[in-house]
Amino acid sequence: MQLSANKTAQFFIQNEYYQVELDDNRLLLSSSGSEERIPFTVWDGRVGLHRGLIWGSLQFFAHEENGQTKSWVVQGLPWALCRNFARHAVATYQQWHNHQCSQLAEYLPQWEATLDQLEKQPAFLQHSQVNAWVTQVNHDFSQMSMSIDEAALRLPKRVSRLQSWLKEPSSTLSGRNKGWIENEKKNWEVLFSQCESSPLNASQQHAVLLNDDHNLVLAGAGSGKTSVLTARVAYLMQSHQAQADQILMLAFGRDAAAEMKQRLDSKIGMSAEQVQVNTFHQLGLSILKHVEGNNVVISPIALDSKLKQAWCIDWLKKHWMTPTSFKRWQKHLSKWPIAYLTGDDELGSHVEDPKLINWLETQLEKLCASGLSKKDIQQDLVAHPEYSRLNSELALCWPCVQAWQQMLKEQNQIDFPLMISRATKYVEKGRFQGAWKFIMIDEYQDISPDRLALIQALCEQDKQAYSTSLYAVGDDWQSIYQFAGADVDLTTDFEKRFPNSTVHNLDMTYRFNSKIGEVANRFIQANPRQIPKDLNSFKQQKQKTVVTAPSASVEKILEGIAKSAKKRPSVLLLGRNHYHSPTLLMDWKKQFTELDIQFMTCHGSKGKEADFVIILCVDEGQLPAKKKQLHLDGALSQSDDLFPYAEERRLFYVAMTRARHKVWITHSGDGSGFVQELNSGDWPVIRKK
């Protein structure tokens, strides 16, 4: 149906709307040179009739938005026809409106019933459950050719309850789960008060009850992550969510795994005996033995660093006996020296050079761990600004990789990278079915891409009876093992890799006081790629406890600690490298018998703590360490984090947070950039000269 002004009326109304038409659930308004379509979802069904001296006009109103109502006026219309058009338009709109309401009446009860079940279920509500509901509702809306906002205009009271779940599902889900956790804590007061020597705090209790599809608990230094892991095992079993043999706990070393197992035995007892506590290598080996039988043999050369270095020397000697291979090395080294070796005539005599062999072994391990073909590696590196040099390094090392893999094949043996990659393939192809409902990883920030690929494969296996949930505990602020294959991006980007996940922060440290925390926490968060979080100190302190001081004052510092010592306090001397160990260390141990003095590297101190910490030689080129030339191993494990000295900053943070009471940062001259940063501005630091 169409209603239009005559030519005389059009002349007088100029550029205003002069024609209106009903067209497929919308109004079509026309003026000279333009046209506007107003769907029924925008028009609210009201029409205003206005009679002028000669002609009439129709006014169409939109739904109110932010307290304002938009309208459109069509002028110069024959008055005799205006009322009929208005009646017909309203009737057509009402028919459409009733159809929309009838569709909603059909679907709404189903949506509401499912949402009721989800909201009221006596458990943590998972992302996947909500996402399945959201997907179904959006599909239904698509079938109805309707949006949630349009539905809200039809049945506002009933639809408003759904809107937050559909528009902001994650934040709505988080709010629901926080409320559930607060109520659930009351049911587990006995466990939380007795599972450790001290009751779990509110943040730790929250972490234990966290039960999304996948979970990351950010556990800062001294925040009690071990207590959380132990309590969670007890909670999962006591709440009947898992039998002991449905829980897999993973650590990065034999000692850590043994300590974890011992803690379960002492805190939980016999009921936790069947919980599987493994290193990643033990897990990989058990999967291989399950599929291949007990004839899986790890190469003795792969297990012994000295044997592996001897193998590399032997391979290089044979390789250099081929003139073309030797010339390739000479050509590369003459342009890009490695381990201070150039491609001169004396190169052949350096075939056993320890630094060169160490470099070759490092590249071999990294290339094997990547699990990539030569072509794939080249593809990954092609955009790198130093591609020519790195590709040349690849040409040097790839024959070594091929020889290593051939040796393993001939002897029917495996190394650690092959063990992990083969185990991953068995899981992906369904040749191994994991029986675990929960996989828990300690020190998650140390994970490498190949290890995580295995865990993801286990979590993503198609199991009808149950799904596998990852529970990762770690701290991106303490990720310091990039040289060993760790990738901090796997922690900072956890939610991207595992979309159906929740990240929770343990917000209380029981190790260092508030003044150390004030400096250390601010220092680490200068890098915007680190996950921002609160880490409050249980021990509050008014006086400053971080000191920058000359390197020559270390003995004087020890004297001061000794004079005020009541018991036998522990003192950690920390250096970036082993060669930073003080020459007077043994003398100081004899001189200050009232002190427990130890030297460690900053890396070696991870997981340790002491009453007092003295960080040595925080000088330019020492800490942060001077940037070395990037080689293949570094390029393949390079983080997306381009913040200057990002890993060295984390290492310095780890060093500072080993202390309970006080930290001295010693340096020569003005010190490194880290010292200069702390000595400038309003840092709560004591500056000694």
pLDDT higher than threshold 80 for residue 674? yes
Q: Above pLDDT 90, what percent of the chain?
A: 85
Q: Considering only CA atoms, which of 659, 657, 556, 576 is closest in space to residue 618?
A: 576
Cis peptide, bond prior to residue 624, ω within 30 of zero: yes
pLDDT at 11: 83
Q: Which residues, including other chains, have CB under 8 Å from residue 295's CB and lie 6 or more apart?
A: 412
Each residue's pLDDT tens digit, 624-658: 999 888 899 989 888 888 899 999 999 999 999 99
Average pLDDT over residues 113-129: 96
pLDDT band at 1 (very low <50, low <70, confident <90, very high): confident
pLDDT at 464: 67
Count Cα atoms within 13 angstroms, Cβ side, for 620: 5
pLDDT higher than threshold 80 for residue 593? yes
Each residue's pLDDT tens digit, 485-521: 899 999 999 999 999 999 999 999 999 999 999 999 9
Q: Which residues are known binding-site members?
A: 219-226
pLDDT at 397: 97
Q: Which residues, including other chains, have CB under 8 Å from residue 616's CB and lie 6 or more apart?
A: 551, 554, 573, 574, 575, 580, 582, 666
| Distance, C-alpha 160 to centroid of its chain | 34
pLDDT higher than threshold 80 for residue 465? no
Indicate the Cα dihedral angle 60, 62, 67, 68, nearest 10°: -50
DSSP secondary structure string for all residues of 273-309: TT-EEEEHHHHHHHHHHHHH-S---B-HHHH-HHHHH
Each residue's pLDDT tens digit, 431-458: 999 999 999 999 999 999 999 999 999 9
What 3-state DSSP class applies to 458?
helix
Each residue's pLDDT tens digit, 212-267: 999 999 999 999 999 999 999 999 999 999 999 999 999 999 999 999 999 999 99
Average pLDDT over residues 108-128: 96
The count of other CB atoms within 10 Å of the CB of residue 502 is 22
* Residue 178 DSSP class: H
pLDDT higher than threshold 90 for residue 13? no
Each residue's pLDDT tens digit, 126-140: 999 999 999 999 999
pLDDT at 211: 96
CA dist., res. 655 & res. 601, Å (int): 9
DSSP H/E element including 258: helix 254-267
> Which tokens is 294 given?
């007990």
With a threshold of 0.85, does the pTM exceed it? yes
The count of other CB atoms within 10 Å of the CB of residue 584 is 12
In whole angstroms, how far apart are CA 295 and each of 135, 288, 424? 48, 9, 19
CA dist., res. 24 & res. 406, Å (int): 72
Average pLDDT over the chain reads: 94
Each residue's pLDDT tens digit, 276-317: 999 999 999 999 999 998 888 999 999 999 999 999 999 999
In whole angstroms, how far apart are CA 594 and each of 329, 553, 591, 597, 605? 56, 19, 9, 9, 22
pLDDT at 391: 96
Q: Which residues are known binding-site members for ATP?
A: 219-226
pLDDT band at 689 (very low <50, low <70, confident <90, very high): confident
pLDDT at 197: 85
pLDDT at 493: 95
Q: In the block, which residue shows the tokens 């990351």?
A: 216
DSSP H/E element including 84: helix 79-120
Q: Above pLDDT 70, what percent of the chain?
A: 100
